[in-house]
Structure 1
Amino acid sequence: MDIEHHTLVGFAKSFGLFYLLAMAAVALLYACWPANRSGFDKAARDIIEDEDKPWR
């Protein structure tokens, strides 16, 4: 079975597109999941609360 280059490139581009869309959907679901809200809110507050002190 001989696979031509343009066939392989087309398959790779299609699979890569669907993979990228699936990973974006997973990241969006994770970020919008209600149980994760407290962790994101804490991270946002920690950045602002620790800003007035020196790094060490």
Structure 2
Amino acid sequence: MAHEDLVWLAQSFGLFYLIGLSVIVLVHVYWPSNKKRFERAAAAILEAEDRPCR
């Protein structure tokens, strides 16, 4: 196997790995049962802030 073949294989595997990972993340984020958890996390930063960070 030549070096160019290994480089092509590594680049192709990396591309498909990142595409697959992106699809998995998007499915997880837009899954209907996760909506409440993400809404609660988005609102949590605005709740119970009555004093400075220190």
TM more than 0.5:
yes
* Of 36, 39, 48, the match for 2:37: 39
Give the CA deviation at 1:51. Answer: 3.1
TM-score (normalizing by structure 2): 0.87
Match of 2:24, as an amino acid? V
The secondary structure found in structure 1 opposite 2:45 is: helix
User: What 5-or-longer segments of structure 1 have no aligned partner?
Assistant: none
How many pairs are equivalent?
54
| d(CA) in 1 for partners of 2:10, 2:24 | 21
Confirm whether residue 22 of structure 1 aligns to residue 37 of structure 2.
no
List structure 1 runs of 4+ shifted beyond 6 angstroms.
none
Query: Residues 18-47 of structure 1, C-alpha deviation per residue, up to 9 Å, x if partnerless?
Result: 000000000000000000001001111111
Identify unmatched segments of 5+ residues in structure 2.
Answer: none
